[in-house]
Every structure is written in structure tokens, then in C-alpha cells.
A and B are shown apart, each in its own frame.
Chain A
Amino acid sequence: EDKVVQSPLSLVVHEGDTVTLNCSYEVTNFRSLLWYKQEKKAPTFLFMLTSSGIEKKSGRLSSILDKKELSSILNITATQTGDSAIYLCAVRFGNEKLTFGTGTRLTIIP
């Protein structure tokens, strides 16, 4: 069964720290991996990674796809309190459905 696992489940760091969030998957016929940020509302799209685009960066956020290890990391540098959120990873596999992980809850302490 296709599966997406995120770690850690929760993380508390101080403002200014750098964090790394992990997403691993067991899927057949991988198509793409998407990262979302969810605060008290709907998920906000961050990145989409595919076989042809394994690294993305936007400001302090960056993400890398490791197809050999079937995983991805999301890095956030110089964290700010506004980065506090649940970060969701989703994988699209052969039949095009998106399967979501349970998310990592990130809390930034001022």
C-alpha cells in the first residue's frame, strides 16, 4: 500500500534556528512530491518536486528530493515565529491520487 511518513511529528525550536523536516514514501510509480504549509486554515502550496526537478528553493525555504532513498527534506533557515505551522508532505503516485503524510507540527519560540 502506498504510504507517506513524515518525521518528526512535532518540533520546537528557537527563532533563528535552522530546521530540517523529513518525508519518506513507499509508493509505486512515483510521479511527484509536494510540500504544503498549514496554519489555522487551508494548506498553502510550497514546492513540487519531480524526477526532472529534484531541488527547489524560495527564500529561506528549500527542498530536495532523493529518489534513491525515496525521501525528501524541507529546510527552513533563520526561522521566524511566522514559520510556526504544520508542514504537510504529499506524494502523487501512478494513478494520480495525492497521498498525504500526517504532517510535522513546527513551533518557533521567540
Chain B
Amino acid sequence: KAGVTQTPRYLIKTRGQQVTLSCSPISGHRSVSWYQQTPGQGLQFLFEYFSETQRNKGNFPGRFSGRQFSNSRSEMNVSTLELGDSALYLCASSLIWQNYEQYFGPGTRLTVT
């Protein structure tokens, strides 16, 4: 069974631009979570989607948004990019959203210049 896939794997943007990252969960998984990983803050939860509905949201500004499609694929969008948004963005999928194992994708490395 294929794992979680994320595209693109690497991205360079300039301040003020916006970016959209994509995540395809493991086949059959219906929940997708997004995380930001930086050397200083570690892994921080962004949001979680299940059945096209946002179930949980972390403490990030409104510039960070996401959505989930009927096929469980998810996208996250960051608008008005700041230098501090440079990070590894990880997507994880699980069978459903309540207390199940989460499996991570390879991540998208975003660099904001």
C-alpha cells in the first residue's frame, strides 16, 4: 500500500507571496493532519481534517488555512508569507480522526526569502 505523498517536496518563495501544499493520504485513510516542524519549535500541530471538515486547529494565525476534498486529499495554504514560515511542513494520515495511529508523509520543505 502506498504511503502518504506530499507535493511539492521543495519550494522557495519570497515574502508576501502565497503557497499551496498538497497531501494525499494512505488509501482508505480519511483523516489528514498538518504539522509545521522547525529547529526551534519542533513539531507543531496546524489542523486536522476528517470528512472534508476541520476537526481541530492549532495556534497559528489565520494566514494558515486548509481544506480536504471528497477523496480525502488535503491542501494547506499559507498567504502573505513571512520569513518565519520557513519550515518543513508535514502531513499525516490516519484511518479516522479519533485516537488512531498517524503516518507521516515525506514533507514539503518551504524556504521563504
Contact = CB atoms under 8 A, between A and B. Distances in A.
Interface of A: 31-32, 34, 36, 41-45, 48, 50, 88, 90, 92, 95-103
A97 B102 contact: no
B11 interface: no
B48 interface: yes
Given A92-B99, A97-B48, A100-B45, 5 more contacts: A43-B43, A96-B55, A97-B56, A100-B42, A101-B42
B106 A34 contact: no
B105 interface: yes
12 contacts: A41-B107, A43-B43, A43-B104, A45-B102, A92-B99, A96-B99, A97-B45, A97-B48, A98-B45, A99-B45, A100-B42, A103-B42
A101 B99 CA distance: 18
A50 B103 CA distance: 17
Contacts of B97: 96
Nearest to B45: A97
Contacts of B21: none
Interface residues of B, number: 21
A42 B26 CA distance: 15
B83 to A, nearest CB: 22
Nearest to A101: B42
Nearest to B88: A42
A42 B55 CA distance: 23
Contacts of B42: 100-103
A88 B44 CA distance: 12
Most chain-B CB neighbours within 10 Å: which of A41, A50, A88?
A: A41
Contact of B106 (A36, A42, A103): A42
